[in-house]
Amino acid sequence: PTMAHPQALLVLENFIGGKFVPCSSYIDSYNPSTGDVYCRVPDSGKEEVEAAVKAAKDAFPVWSSKSPLERSQILNKLADLIEHDLEAFAQAESKDQGKTITFARTVDIPRAVHNFRFFASSILHHVTECTEMPTMGCVHYTSRAPVGVAGLISPWNLPLYLLTWKIAPAIACGNTVVAKPSEMTSVTAWMMCKLLEKAGVPPGVVNVVFGTGAKAGEALVCHPDVPLISFTGSTLTAQRITERSAPHCKRLSLELGGKNPAIVFDDADLSQCIPTTVRSSFANQGEICLCTSRIFVQRGIYSEFLKRFVAEAKKWKTGNPSDPTVDVGALISKEHLEKVRNYVKKAQAEGARVLCGEGVDPLALPPGNQKGYFMLPTVIAEVKDESCCMQEEIFGPVTCVVAFDTEEEVIKRANGVKYGLAATVWSGNVGRVHRVAHRLQSGLVWTNCWLVRDLNLPFGGMKASGIGREGAKDSYEFFTEVKTITIKH
Ligand code: NAD
């Protein structure tokens, strides 16, 4: 395959035991905004995973015996180094993923930096439990220790952001890791590897193996020396990972898809709600697991909401992701764009109304982006709750708006999907937002805002949206093994 490509292609290498190692075969990676192959990603399999797990296992005794403070200093150093190269990382993320440069600059890379700083700090502040049993003359306490080699598998939508959300807590707790980013977005992980030595991360503590889920991902999931797997991706892949890891009884953290509702009551402040809900529907091309895709609006304000919402959505500019004035970049791949478009077609065939975007408005693209995977923000109304557009995760710039009458009714309808990741409630009535938030089947509920996160608190989904939570305490618990010790005096 090497001869088929011009020299100028970026060629990635696996990072194993502190060294970059070439691979015997490669996969093409596309620039979604032009449709051109621009990078070659190692097509790793069992052999590469085996070498990476061995390196991680060898590095474990020394890394796990370092004090939390020593590890914390290294994580902070790594954060500084990524921040120093923020612009280069943002450019790479935008080119590799199709996301806008503005989103990469303001969300993806700053958050990757923050992930390291956050866990560098939080690891210093954990306390374990202790109880006394005076009548037995005993005290009990718990101690926590790192588990070993952690397998980390991440998706393509927020590449470095989500990968570092796993690497940071895993190594802060004293584990060593083998990470496998998505084969479609591997570049920023590879760039991060170049900074590890300078940050003081010893060889073998962070290993990155690039390749597909079916080959590299499964080899990692099936490896007997990897006792825990932290996975973010689709529900379908999570089922496969659960099956493949079952013979080893592995510890799993699964952060999966969503079909997130926004509920807009008639006393909502629409001047806040509308721009935020447009953002929650279309940010990062709608390719965020937390994006809103079902908007329930109380009947009294339904037509006003629709009118204002569509007008706001039309303000979002779609085009070359490297243009800082652009709001919507390219979708991840040709296949994904086709899948997202098909949902709009299906909705139309069922009698729903497409109010703006796909098939309704013209999409004008710069000459260099004609072959890119672009699509306009699309708003669909009058969709039935049982329609696939209201039930399945679309993961693109498509949102459905429907009317409701009562609180009771909307809770039932909002809960009427297999997913349960994030919900948004808009109302000026404090009693109501609490009441509704408690009854929604959702791991996260935002009221009168969206995507405001405190990393201290649990993140994760219910139902088909996942198993387990991540956050300061939750990640610490996931990435450590607890022991209860009883002392009789
Ligand atoms: P995906 O499940 O196709 O792939 C995710 C990762 O798993 C990739 O690295 C892939 O190579 C790997 N993989 C695929 N098959 C595998 C297998 N059999 N064994 C091991 N690894 C395998 O997901 P995607 O398309 O990359 O990402 C989009 C999905 O991720 C959406 O469903 C989205 O909602 C979800 N997501 C969830 C969260 C969250 O925190 N809940 C965050 C972001 C994305």
Give the pLDDT score at 1. Answer: 44
Read off the tokens for 36: 């051109």
Fold of 10-257+465-488: Aldehyde Dehydrogenase; Chain A, domain 1 (3.40.605)
Check: pTM over 0.95? Answer yes or no. yes
Tokens 């390219």 identify what position?
330
Cα-Cα-Cα-Cα torsion 64, 70, 72, 74, nearest 10 degrees, comes to: -100
Of the candidates 31, 127, 125, the one whose C-alpha atom is nearest the C-alpha of residue 331 is 31
Mean pLDDT over 17-31 rounds to 97
- Quote the CA–CA distance of 470 and 122 in Å, as a whole number: 13
427 CA to middle of ligand 1, Å? 34
* pLDDT per residue as tens digits for the range 412-456: 999 999 999 999 999 999 999 999 999 999 999 999 999 999 999
Read off the tokens for 155: 């998706």
Can you say how many angstroms the Cα of residue 417 is from the centroid of all Cα atoms in its chain? 20
Q: Output the residue whose Cα is nearest ligand 1's atom 35.
A: 233
Residue type at 385? Answer: D
* pLDDT per residue as tens digits for the range 327-377: 999 999 999 999 999 999 999 999 999 999 999 999 999 999 999 999 999
Bridge partners, residue 146, by sequence: 480
- Quote the CA–CA distance of 67 and 90 in Å, as a whole number: 33
| Active-site annotation holds for 255 | yes
Mean pLDDT over 106-134 rounds to 97
Whether the per-residue pLDDT at 4 is higher than 70: the answer is: no
Residue count of the chain:
489
Q: Place 7 in a pLDDT band, splitting at 50, 70 and 90.
A: low
- Quote the CA–CA distance of 176 and 163 in Å, as a whole number: 14
**Residue 425 near residue 433 (C-beta atoms within 8 A):** yes
Tokens 């760039």 identify what position?
191
- Quote the CA–CA distance of 443 and 441 in Å, as a whole number: 7
Whether the per-residue pLDDT at 489 is higher than 90: the answer is: no
| CB-count exposure of residue 325 (10 Å: 0-12, 13-18, 19+) | exposed
**Residue 384: CB partners within 8 Å, gap ≥ 6?**
350, 352, 390
Atom of ligand 1 nearest to the CA of 212: 11
Euclidean distance between the first and final Cα of the chain, in Å? 70
336 lines ligand 1 (CB under 6 A): no
271 CA to middle of ligand 1, Å? 35
Rg (Cα) of the chain, in Å, rounded?
A: 23
Dihedral sign, Cα of residue 80, residue 81, residue 87, residue 91: negative
Classify the phi-psi angles of 481: left when phi > 0, otherwise alpha if psi is within -120 to 50, otherwise beta: beta
Give the pLDDT score at 304. Answer: 98
* pLDDT per residue as tens digits for the range 373-408: 999 999 999 999 999 999 999 999 999 999 999 999
Read off the tokens for 317: 């500019």
CA distances from 204 to 15, 142, 173 (A): 9, 29, 15
* pLDDT per residue as tens digits for the range 71-100: 999 999 999 999 999 999 999 999 999 999
| Residue among 93, 255, 287, 358 flagged as catalytic | 255
- Quote the CA–CA distance of 353 and 369 in Å, as a whole number: 29
Give the pLDDT score at 301. Answer: 98
Bridge partners, residue 422, by sequence: 444
Residue type at 6? Answer: P
Strands 378-381 and 353-356, bridge-based pairing: antiparallel
Q: Output the residue whose Cα is nearest ligand 1's atom 18.
A: 214
Query: What's the DSSP call for residue 32?
Result: T
For the ranges 2-6, 167-171, 213-217, the lowest mean pLDDT is seen at 2-6
343 lines ligand 1 (CB under 6 A): no
Specify the domain boundaries for CATH 3.40.605.10 within the chain: 10-257+465-488
Annotate 456-474 with DSSP letters as a single string: TS-B--EETTEES-BSHHH
- Quote the CA–CA distance of 403 and 329 in Å, as a whole number: 30
Of the candidates 166, 177, 170, the one whose C-alpha atom is nearest the C-alpha of residue 17 is 177
* pLDDT per residue as tens digits for the range 102-114: 999 999 999 999 9
Whether the per-residue pLDDT at 5 is higher than 60: the answer is: no
Whether the per-residue pLDDT at 62 is higher than 80: the answer is: yes
Q: Place 8 in a pLDDT band, splitting at 50, 70 and 90.
A: confident
**What is the percentage of the chain residues whose pLDDT exceeds 90?**
98
Q: Output the residue whose Cα is nearest ligand 1's atom 30.
A: 233
Give 261-447's CATH code, choosing from 3.40.309.10, 3.40.50.300, 1.20.1440.120, 1.10.10.60.
3.40.309.10
Residue type at 281? Answer: S
Specify the domain boundaries for CATH 3.40.309.10 within the chain: 261-447
